[in-house]
Structure 1
Amino acid sequence: MNTYGKQFRITTFGESHGAGIGVVIDGCPAGLHLDLDFIQHELDRRKPGQSKITTQRKEKDEFQILSGIFEGKTTGTPLTLMIWNEDAKSKDYAHIAEQFRPSHADYTYQQKYGVRDYRGGGRSSARETAARVASGAIAKLLLQPLGVQIYAYVSQVGKLKLEKAYQELDLSLTEDNIVRCPDQAVAQQMIALIDETRKKGDSIGGIVTGVIKGVPVGWGEPVFDKLHAELGKAMLSINAVKGFEYGSGFEGVQLYGSQHNDAFYTEEGKIKTRTNHSGGIQGGISNGADIYFNVAFKPVATLMRDQESINTKGEAVTVSGKGRHDPCVVPRAVPIVESMSALVLADFYLRNKASRMND
C-alpha cells in the first residue's frame, strides 16, 4: 500500500536510484496558499549531505509542483510534487545484486515480488521519505491557521539519553546543532558518539520525541482509527522504526491508577487536566492537552565493514559495506516524524468536519 489517509490522502512513488521521488496529494482543500519557500525549507531539513554525521550523498531535493496549483493556491484537484534524483551511484550496489544484506528488506522483497531493485534498496530506501516531508509540509500549512504546532527532537542516541522532559526544554533550539537536540551540552555528546561510531564503520540507533501543541478537543475516531493508533501506524511506517509509545507509555505500568489518572479542572472557562499521563488523547480522541510520544529507531543496517550472509542461491557470502549511508538516522528523522504527525492531523481535521452537525 503506497497510500496513506482517508480525507487528506497521499500516494508516494519512486525509488532511491530511479528518476526521482514524488507524491500525489488528494483531498487537500482548494484555496490553500502554498508557501513554496517553507516546503523547500522542510525538504532541506531532511536532505542528505547535511553534515559529517549524515550520509554524504548530495541531493538538492528541489521540488516541482506538476498539478493542483493555480496562482499560488490549491485548486482542490490532486497535487503532484516531484523531486528528481541527481546523485545516485548505482554501481556502489552492484556487488549485492545477488546477496541479501543483513536486516535489510532484500530477502523479504525478493520473496514477495520475485524481483527487487537492489540499487540503494529501491522502494524500501529511506529516500522515499522525501515525498512524505514534501506532503507533510503542505499538511503543516493547512494546520497552521488552527494554531497546531508540531515539534520533534532527538532525545536519545545509543545509551546517551536526554533526561529532561520536553516541558523543560526550549524546543526552538532544536535546529541549532546538527544532531537536532535542543539541549546543547547533550547535543555535543551525541555528535561525538555518532562521529565515533561512523569512524568505526558501525551504526547506532536512537529516539526521536514528538510534541504536538494546540490540537483542538475532538480529533480522532473512537474504535479502530484512534488518534494514537494512527500516529503509531504513521511512525511505524517510517524506515528503521522499531517502537512507538505515547503519553506515559511503558513507564506508566509502574503507577497505580490513583497516580496515573488525569484529574479534570476548570480554568478560565476551559476544561483542563492537572496531569497529562494520557498524552493528550483519551478514548482515541484528542482532549486539548499536549500530545507527546517517542519513536525508536534501530541502528542503520548497512555497515562499513564485512558481514556474514547468504546469496540468492542460499550460499554463504560476505557482504561488504559500500556506498553512502547515515551512521545514525535520528538527526534526519526529525522532520520525517513531524511530517507524518502533520499528515495524520490534517486527515483527522478534515474528517472531523463531518462528525457532527454545525452548532
Structure 2
Amino acid sequence: MNTFGKLFTLTTFGESHGAAVGGIVDGMPAGITIDTDFIQRELVRRRPGQSHITTDRKEADQVELLSGVFEGKSTGAPIGFLVRNTNHHSKDYDSIRDIFRPSHADYTYYTKYGIRDYRGGGRSSARITLSRVVAGALAKLVLRQQGISIYAYTSQVGDIKLERDYHKYDLSIIESNPVRCPDPLKAIEMEALISQVKHEGDTIGGVISCVIKGCPVGLGEPEFGKLHAQLGAAMLSINAVKGFEYGEGFAGSAWRGSQQNDTFLPTNDSMHHPICNVETNHSGGIQGGISNGEDIYFRVAFKPVATLLMEQQTVTMEGEAITMDVHGRHDPCVLPRAVPIVEAMAAMTILDALLISKTNRL
C-alpha cells in the first residue's frame, strides 16, 4: 500500500537513489492559498546535510508542483509533485549488493518481492519521507485556516530526556538549535551525545513529542476509526518508529482512576468547548476515540538508525556468514530530521479526520 488517508490522501513514489521522489495529493480543498515558500521551508527542516549531527548527503530538495494549483490557489484537482535526487552516491552501496544489512528491510523486501534495490535501501529508505513532508505542508495550510497548529520536538535522545509536561517549555524556540529541542540546556547535552555517537561510528535513538492545538470537538470515529488509532498508525508508518503513546500513555497505567480521570467544568471558551471543558488533560485530548477540544499530545519512540559505520556480522543472500563494513553517509540520530515528518503525518491525519467529520453532518 502506497496511499495514506481516506478523503485527504497521499500516494508516494520513488526510491532513495532513483531519479526523483514524489507524490500525488488528492482531496485538497479548493481555494487554499498555496504558500510554496512555506512548503520549501518544511522540506529544508527535513533536508539532509543541515548540520554536523546529520548525514553528510547534500540535497537541495527543491519541490516542483506539477498540477492542482492555478494562480497560487488549489483547484481541488490532485496535486502532483516531485523532488529530484541530485546527490546520490550509489557506488557506496556496491559492497552490500549481495548481503543483508542487520535490522534493515533488505531481507524482508527480498523475500517478499524476490528483488531489492540495494542503493540506499531503495523504497525502504527514509528519503521517501520527503513526500510526506510536502503533503503535510499542504495539510498545514488548510489547518492553519481552521486555527489548528502542530508542534513536534525532540524530547529525548538516549538517556537525556525532558519532562513529559510540554507546558513547561516554550515551543516557539524548537527551531533554535539543530536538535530541535525546546530546552536549550538539554539541547546542548543531546547535541554533544549525538556528536560523540557519530564519532564512534554508532547511532542512537530517542523520543519525539507532539502537541496539536486548536482541534475542534468531534474528530475521529467511535469504533475502528478512533482518532488516537489513526494517529498511532500514521506515526508507526514512519521509518525507525518503534512505539506510540498518547495522553499519559504507559506512565498513566500505574495510576489510579481517581488520579487519571479528567474532571469536567463549566466552559469558559464557547468556541472550542460548546458545553464544558476539563480541569486536567490526562486523556491527551481524545476520549472514546474522539477529540474533546483539548490539546492532543503524544510521544513517538524512534530506534537507533540501523546503519553503523563499524563492522557487523551478517549473511549473504546465499545464507553464508560474512563480516560487513559499511561506508557512506548516514544519520547518527534520526530525531532532528524526523520532527517535521511527525508533524506532517499528524497534519494529514487531522485534516483527513476533519474532512470526514464534515461528511458526518450532511
TM-score category, normalised to shorter length = over 0.9
Distance 2:135 2:179 in 1: 23
The residue identity in structure 2 corresponding to 1:235 is M
The residue correspondences of 1:46-61 to structure 2 (distance < 5 A) are 46-61=46-61
Tell me the number of residue pairs that the alignment of Structure 1 and Structure 2 aligns. 357
**1:298 maps to which residue?**
303
Structure 1 unmatched ranges of 5 or more: none
| SS of alignment partner, residue 191 of structure 1 | helix
Name the counterpart of 2:97.
97
Deviation at 1:200, TM superposition (A): 0.4
Q: Residues 72-96 of structure 1: CA distance to partner in whole angstroms, max 9, x if unpaired?
A: 1111111001100000000000111
Shift of 1:29: 1.3
Aligned partner of 1:326 in structure 2 is 331
Q: Name the structure 1 match of 2:263.
A: 263
Cα deviation code 1:231-288 (max 9, x no counterpart): 0000000000000000010001111111111110013354111111110001110000
Q: Distance in 2 between matches of 1:214 and 1:163?
A: 23
Cα deviation for residue 163 of structure 1 reads: 2.3
1:131 aligned partner, one-letter code = S
- Structure 1 residue aligned with 2:43: 43
Which residue is 2:203 aligned to? 203
Superposed CA deviations along residues 8-59 of structure 1, whole A, max 9, x for unmatched, are 0100100000001001001111111100000000000000000010001000
What amino acid is aligned across from residue 289 of structure 2 in structure 1? Answer: G
Q: Is 2:95–2:326's contact at 8 Å kept on the other side of the alignment?
A: no
Distance 1:252 1:161 in 2: 18
Residue 342 of structure 1, aligned match among 317, 338, 347: 347
1-structure distance, mates of 2:80, 2:202: 38
1:208 CA drift (Å): 0.3
Instruction: Show the counterpart of 1:151.
Output: 151
SS in 1 for 2:100: coil
Q: How does 1:88-237 map to 2 (within 5 A)?
A: 88-163=88-163, 165-237=165-237
Counterpart code for 1:315: E
Q: Normalised by the size of structure 1, how large is the TM-score?
A: 0.98
Q: Distance in 2 between matches of 1:321 and 1:158?
A: 23
Structure-2 separation of matches of 1:304 and 1:349: 44
Matched, 1:7 2:7: yes
Could you tell me which amino acid in structure 2 is paired with residue 189 of structure 1? E
Distance 1:261 1:188 in 2: 37
Q: 1:356 offset after TM fit, Å?
A: 1.7
Q: Secondary structure at the match of 1:190?
A: helix
Q: Give the unaligned 5+ runs of structure 2.
A: none
Q: Distance in 2 between matches of 1:72 and 1:327?
A: 39
| CA RMSD in angstroms, aligned pairs only | 0.8
Question: Quick one: which amino acid aligns to residue 152 of structure 2?
Answer: A
Letter paired with 2:193: L
Asked if residue 286 in structure 1 is aligned to residue 321 in structure 2, the reply is no
Q: Cα deviation per residue 1:289-334 (whole Å; 9 max; x = unaligned)?
A: 0100000000000001010000000000111121100000000000
Q: CA deviation at 1:137?
A: 0.1
Q: Secondary structure at the match of 1:254?
A: coil
Q: Secondary structure at the match of 1:353?
A: helix
The SS at the match of 1:21 is strand
Distance 1:164 1:70 in 2: 44
Q: Which amino acid aligns with 2:185?
A: A
SS in 1 for 2:156: strand
Tell me the amino acid that sits aligned with residue 161 of structure 1: K
Q: Secondary structure of 2:211's match?
A: strand
Q: Which residue identity lines up with residue 159 of structure 1 in the other structure?
A: D
Question: What residue is the counterpart of 1:273 in the other structure?
Answer: 278
- Counterparts of 1:69 and 1:212, CA distance in 2: 27
TM-score (norm 2): 0.98
State the distance in 2 between where 1:89 and 1:225 align.
Answer: 42
Separation in 2, partners of 1:253, 1:164: 15
